[in-house]
């Protein structure tokens, strides 16, 4: 009776281990699928942008003002205005002027301006932040070349100062789901091996007793 009880508990533990392993395998595959569509695809599109040397052609305020949304608490939200700074650069590869943007997010949020400040409640503060960046490009950068990124096929008239995604995103998209998958496979394999060894050991015991 005791042997049957031990064997039953052992089999139940094996089943739990196999179920855990299969769950991790399924989770790893599902994570690879989801992350591949949610993170990997936009990251690869972003990394397709070609690195180039840019030099500043002109820095000026366009005279236009755009709205941004600020928050001042859980139930406090409003809009304020910021001036539109336009930094035009010359690409070493293309030789044509292009509008510089901080990153892809700002390009999509406002394709007319080079910089979107963190939205402050007062318009004056927004103007001061933008003016600071105007001085930076005029005085500190000037005619010095710097690295920028552009995609001549998707947006030939726009360049980015930095990429939204980098190679680390692709690494994480593959690393953690793969680790989860491999751990699941390892649990299943070890459980099957342990069960096989237990069966062989039991068979050897029966031969000795017989």
pTM beyond 0.95, yes or no: no
| Domain of 183, in residue numbers | 167-202
Rounded to an integer, the average pLDDT of 72-92 is: 86
Regarding whether 180 and 142 lie in a shared domain, the answer is no
CB 96 within 8 A of CB 155: no
Q: Say whether pLDDT at 97 is over 70.
A: yes
Share of the chain above pLDDT 90, in %: 22
CB 121 within 8 A of CB 78: yes
pLDDT tens per residue across span 161-174: 887 665 566 666 67
Regarding whether 176 and 81 lie in a shared domain, the answer is no
Regarding whether 184 and 81 lie in a shared domain, the answer is no
Q: Say whether pLDDT at 9 is over 80.
A: no
Grade residue 47 by pLDDT with cuts at 50, 70 and 90.
very low
- Whether residue 195 lies inside any domain: the answer is yes
User: What is the structure's pLDDT at 210?
Assistant: 61
φ/ψ of 14, rounded to 5, equals: -60, -45
- Whether residue 180 lies inside any domain: the answer is yes
80's torsion region: left (phi>0), alpha (psi -120 to 50) or beta?
beta
Report the number of distinct structural domains present in the chain.
2
Regarding whether 74 and 53 lie in a shared domain, the answer is yes
Give the contacts of 194 (CB within 8 A, at least 6 positions apart). 14
- Stated as kind and residue range, the H or E segment containing 70 is strand 50-73
Burial 96-108 (b: 16+ CB within 10 A, else e): eebbbbbbbebbe
């Amino acid at each position: 009776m005791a042997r049957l009880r031990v064997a039953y508990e052992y089999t139940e533990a094996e089943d739990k281990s196999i179920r855990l392993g299969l769950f991790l395998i399924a989770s790893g595959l599902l994570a690879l699928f989801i992350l591949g569509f949610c993170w990997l695809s936009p990251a690869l599109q972003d990394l397709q942008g070609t690195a180039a040397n840019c030099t500043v052609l002109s820095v000026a305020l366009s005279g236009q003002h755009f709205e941004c949304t600020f928050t001042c608490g859980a139930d406090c939200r409003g809009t304020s205005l910021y001036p539109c700074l336009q930094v035009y650069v010359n690409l070493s590869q293309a030789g044509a002027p292009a509008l510089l943007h901080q990153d892809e997010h700002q390009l999509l949020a406002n394709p007319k301006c080079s910089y979107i400040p963190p939205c402050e409640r007062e318009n004056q503060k927004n103007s001061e932040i933008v003016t600071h960046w105007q001085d930076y490009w005029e005085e500190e950068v000037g005619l010095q070349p710097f690295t920028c990124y552009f995609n001549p096929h998707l947006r030939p008239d726009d360049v980015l100062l930095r990429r939204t995604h980098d190679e680390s995103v692709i690494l994480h998209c593959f690393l953690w789901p793969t680790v989860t998958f491999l751990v699941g496979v390892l649990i299943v394999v070890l459980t099957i091996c342990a069960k096989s060894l237990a069966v062989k050991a039991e068979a050897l015991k029966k031969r000795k007793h017989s």
